[in-house]
Amino acid sequence: MEENDKALQRFAAVNYIGQLKDHLHENSVMLIDDIYWSADMTEAWQTIRKHRRIRLSVDTFGWGMAFFLADRETDAVLIDYGLYLPNSWIEDPKRLDQARVLPDQRTFKTKPELTWEILKLPGQIG
């Protein structure tokens, strides 16, 4: 892709909010695909996340969700969490015991796998 095309793609992604501004409300959600497809898309995603009307963003390592929640006072809302443990911890039972990691949490999962589990929980998607 030529440099001009990349710049145009980044510009279009960032200005998408501006194009939709008359249609967005406090319950709107934007899904943006391929947020790490290129450096330009990554930069566009970071810019979108910082937009003044975005109150919550979720990064799934492939696509992003941007929530427009006008009635929120904070930019960060915890929707759920997962305990990430590197393989070195999984292979060290003494360390797991000292950290009081529950037996059912002693399985290695990648960060994308943890994210997918969190997103699937509310409605048991797929």
Q: Note whether 52 and 107 are same-domain residues.
A: no
Taking the C-alpha atoms of residue 105 and residue 108, their distance in angstroms, rounded to an integer, is: 8
pTM of the model: 0.47
Count the domains in the chain.
Answer: 2
Could you count the other beta carbons within 10 Å of the beta carbon of residue 55?
19
Answer whether residue 73 is part of any domain: no
Sign of the torsion angle spanned by Cα atoms 78, 82, 87, 93: positive
Residue-number span of the structural domain to which 48 is assigned: 3-68
Q: Note whether 56 and 85 are same-domain residues.
A: no
Q: Note whether 8 and 64 are same-domain residues.
A: yes
Answer whether residue 22 is part of any domain: yes
Q: Note whether 90 and 118 are same-domain residues.
A: yes
pLDDT in tens, 14-36: 677 677 767 777 778 888 888 88
**What value, to the nearest 5°, has the Cα angle with vertex 121 and ends 32 and 52?**
35
Q: Note whether 122 and 102 are same-domain residues.
A: yes
Q: Note whether 12 and 64 are same-domain residues.
A: yes
Kindly write down the DSSP assignment for every residue of 45-100, as one continuous string.
HHHHHT-TT--EEEE-SSEEEEEE-TT-S-S-----------HHHHT-HHHHHHTT
Place of tokens 């009081």: 100
pLDDT in tens, 39-91: 878 888 888 888 777 878 888 877 888 887 655 555 555 566 677 888 998 99
Q: Note whether 9 and 64 are same-domain residues.
A: yes
Nearest of 17, 45, 44 to residue 29 by alpha carbon:
17
Answer whether residue 91 is part of any domain: yes
Answer whether residue 30 is part of any domain: yes
Q: Note whether 60 and 88 are same-domain residues.
A: no
Q: Note whether 64 and 85 are same-domain residues.
A: no
Q: Note whether 36 and 89 are same-domain residues.
A: no
